[in-house]
Amino acid sequence: MTGRGGDAAGAVHRVVALALPSVVAFDLSIAAQVFGHRDERSRYAFTVCSLAAGAVPSSTGFDIDVPRGLDVLAEADTVVVPGFHPVDSPDPAGLAALREAAGRGTRIASVCVGAFALARAGLLDGRAATTHWQYADEFRALFPGVRLNPDVLFVDEGQVLTSAGISAGIDLCLHLVRRDHGQAVAGEVARRMVVASQRTGGQAQYAQRPLPPDGGLGATREWAIAQMQRPLTVNHLARHAGMPVRSFTRQFQDEAGLSPMRWLTGQRVLEAQRLLEATRLGIDEIAELCGFGSAATLRVHFARQVGSTPTAYRHARHPAAG
């Protein structure tokens, strides 16, 4: 599927990373690992471009040999803009190329402070967006017409998406894979990269205090996932962890960036996505297995997190299922 309405069956989705001068190499490598890895060649074709082909300086002291110039953006289904420094000087030619790509319906995503290029190109006017929390005040001052939310991992506005700093770019790229190919494929990519399969875009950018060395409440989270078909409450989770409810809730929020029940609901929706893709179980049965209790409740939470109905989600991945 593409930002321009969807690939034909079996077509390879073309992803181009636009490396502006002084590109953040880590941001660029995220897109390369997700879309350019050899395991993804049947799904994605990946290349890197800049203002012109040749050596492009990175923000960390070495150059990157970029094979293509801006002309390749005309072939892209998705453009990814990694961060760059300083954020106040993207080249006008690059901005014009981004505007032209957006005008063609190309899907455009930024990693970290790459959002400054999207904003300067006018692509975020009137939209919600995010960027690295350390640059939030500067971003707001420069772009008052953008609804900035610096407290989340990424924002999906349909054609235009933005992510927060560093590892949040991984979350955004996996989200794009999930949009294109479903939860199962995104899970495969996440396992290959040894990262979390899904951190929802609304999760906080950073925990309020460091995770304890033993993983903290990880055992309780694993237990909750295994028991999700039950009508679990915060009391159940706190009892499993052997903690008072208030202390448990506070620690859970610090570790996961979400309240216990919001996190559990997200895990239930993820399992519903998996079952919709991998089985032919009815919606009522899936709702029961995932702990929603009823198909109506499943539909509410599914629409909120995925932006679709369960039936439409299944049909998009298995058209023959009707």
When pLDDT is cut at 50, 70 and 90, the band that residue 318 belongs to is low
Q: Is residue 200 part of a domain?
A: no
Q: Is residue 189 domain-shared with residue 280, that is, in the same domain?
A: no
| Average predicted confidence (pLDDT) for the chain | 88
Q: Is residue 167 domain-shared with residue 249, that is, in the same domain?
A: no
Q: Is residue 4 part of a domain?
A: no
Residues 261-272, mean pLDDT to the nearest whole number: 91
Q: Which of 138, 177, 232 is nearest to 37 (CA)?
A: 177
Q: Is residue 8 part of a domain?
A: no
Boundary (domain end) residue, out of 146, 167, 193: 193
- Predicted confidence (pLDDT) per residue in 3-34, tens digit: 444 455 568 999 999 999 999 999 999 999 99
- Per the structure, the count of domains in the chain is 2
Q: Is residue 313 domain-shared with residue 258, that is, in the same domain?
A: yes
Cβ neighbourhood burial of 33 (10 Å; 0-12, 13-18, 19+): middle
Q: Which of 83, 90, 72 is nearest to 24 (CA)?
A: 83
Q: Is residue 136 domain-shared with residue 269, that is, in the same domain?
A: no
Tokens of 92: 């006008």
The whole-model pTM stands at 0.68
Tokens of 141: 């001052």
The pLDDT value recorded for residue 214 is: 47
The pLDDT value recorded for residue 199 is: 60
Four-residue CA torsion sign, 134, 137, 142, 148: positive
Q: Is residue 36 domain-shared with residue 147, that is, in the same domain?
A: yes
Q: Is residue 184 domain-shared with residue 98, that is, in the same domain?
A: yes
Q: Is residue 45 part of a domain?
A: yes
Question: ∠ at Cα 130 (95, 200), nearest 5°?
Answer: 130
Strand partners of residue 17: 48, 80
Q: Is residue 5 part of a domain?
A: no
What does R_g of the chain's alpha carbons equal in angstroms? 20
Q: Is residue 6 part of a domain?
A: no
Q: Is residue 159 domain-shared with residue 226, that is, in the same domain?
A: no
Residues 125-137, mean pLDDT to the nearest whole number: 93
* pLDDT higher than 90, residue 167: no
The CATH code of the domain that includes 228 is: 1.10.10.60
The CATH code of the domain that includes 113 is: 3.40.50.880
Q: Is residue 152 domain-shared with residue 268, that is, in the same domain?
A: no
Q: Is residue 170 domain-shared with residue 38, that is, in the same domain?
A: yes
Tokens of 154: 């990424």
Phi/psi region, residue 17 (left: phi>0; alpha: psi -120 to 50; beta: rest), is: beta
Within 10 angstroms of residue 98's Cβ, the number of other Cβ atoms is: 25
Tokens of 12: 């390879």
Sequence-separated (6 or more) residues with CB below 8 Å from residue 317: 182, 276, 277
Q: What phi and psi values does residue 158 have, to the nearest 5 degrees?
A: 95, -95
- Predicted confidence (pLDDT) per residue in 64-85, tens digit: 999 999 999 999 999 999 999 9
Boundary (domain end) residue, out of 165, 193, 221: 193
Q: Is residue 85 part of a domain?
A: yes
Domain span at residue 131?
Answer: 13-193
- Predicted confidence (pLDDT) per residue in 180-226, tens digit: 998 889 889 988 988 866 565 555 454 433 344 445 888 898 899 98
Q: Is residue 220 domain-shared with residue 116, that is, in the same domain?
A: no
When pLDDT is cut at 50, 70 and 90, the band that residue 320 belongs to is low
Q: Is residue 48 domain-shared with residue 188, that is, in the same domain?
A: yes
* pLDDT higher than 50, residue 1: no
Q: Is residue 34 domain-shared with residue 76, that is, in the same domain?
A: yes
Q: What phi and psi values does residue 90 have, to the nearest 5 degrees?
A: -70, 140
Boundary (domain end) residue, out of 133, 167, 193: 193
Q: Is residue 281 part of a domain?
A: yes
